[in-house]
Amino acid sequence: MKVVAFNGSPRKDGNTSMLIRNVLGVLEALGIETETVQVGGKQLRGCVACFRCMENKNRHCAVDKDMLNDCIDRMLSADGIILGSPVYFSCMTPEIKALIDRAGMVSRANDMMFRRKVGAAVVAARRAGAVHTFDSINHFFTIGEMIIPGANYWNMGFGREKGEVENDAEGLGIMKTLGENMAWLLKKIAG
Ligand SMILES: Cc1cc2nc3c(=O)[nH]c(=O)nc-3n(C[C@H](O)[C@H](O)[C@H](O)COP(=O)(O)O)c2cc1C
């Protein structure tokens, strides 16, 4: 059983990364393999609306010049997917949006290929926009027939400078609960 997490912050070891690591730590302690993929700050362009994925139906984006198809392969090989993003102007980063738009369209072209995988959003913010970002990322999971575990709050942590989120005890507690519930759900689905 495996969970792949995508860090959409260009700050590789920043607050989003720390929140993700807290969830993955719980998953690993409960026997689930994890992997993190850095997408923030990487070449990952938006959807060009060519709709060739609808013709090709090969589980890949027709624009094969960046890391998108590698991300798709990692999503397909995992049972659970975490999309982590800092809040940028009250929403997700462009890299996470590009991943959602392109992987989401390829999924629709291929009979909802992420159906019944478990999905979770993780959000780091300084002050505002975390709920909006959390909701926006969740749209990817819900339209893709995926299953979302809850936590004891919406999955967010607060901090501005790198590492400040470690001072948000409530945020870290949410990540722990999310990890526990994600593991529980993954094991139930696996039967
Ligand atoms: C371009 C940019 C826009 C931002 N916009 C917001 C915002 O709208 N709301 C907010 O609370 N924080 C905002 N922030 C702050 C980050 O969300 C916050 O510092 C977060 O902890 C960064 O996570 P990271 O360390 O994983 O990059 C912004 C930061 C940047 C660089």
Question: For each of the chain's 191 residues, which pLDDT tens digit applies?
Answer: 999 999 999 999 999 999 999 999 999 999 999 999 999 999 999 999 999 999 999 999 999 999 999 999 999 999 999 999 999 999 999 999 999 999 999 999 999 999 999 999 999 999 999 999 999 999 999 999 999 999 999 999 999 999 999 999 999 999 999 999 999 999 999 98
Closest C-alpha to ligand 1, atom 8? 89
Atom of ligand 1 lying closest to residue 87 CA: 17
For residue 50, what pLDDT is reported?
98
pTM, rounded to two decimals = 0.99
CB neighbours of 49 closer than 8 A, spacing ≥ 6? none
CATH number of the domain where residue 80 is located: 3.40.50.360
Closest CA to 86 of 152, 147, 12, 144: 12
For residue 70, what pLDDT is reported?
98
Pocket test for ligand 1, best of 88, 134, 164 (most atoms within 8 A of CB): 88
For 11, the domain range is 2-190
**Alpha carbon of 161 to ligand 1 centroid (Å):** 9
Q: How many domains are there within the chain?
A: 1
154 lines ligand 1 (CB under 6 A): no
Distances (CA, A) of 92 to 55, 122, 183, 186: 29, 10, 25, 26
Q: How many other CB atoms are found less than 10 A from the CB of residue 131?
A: 14
Pairing of strands 80-86, 2-7: parallel
132 lines ligand 1 (CB under 6 A): no
129 lines ligand 1 (CB under 6 A): yes
For residue 118, what pLDDT is reported?
98
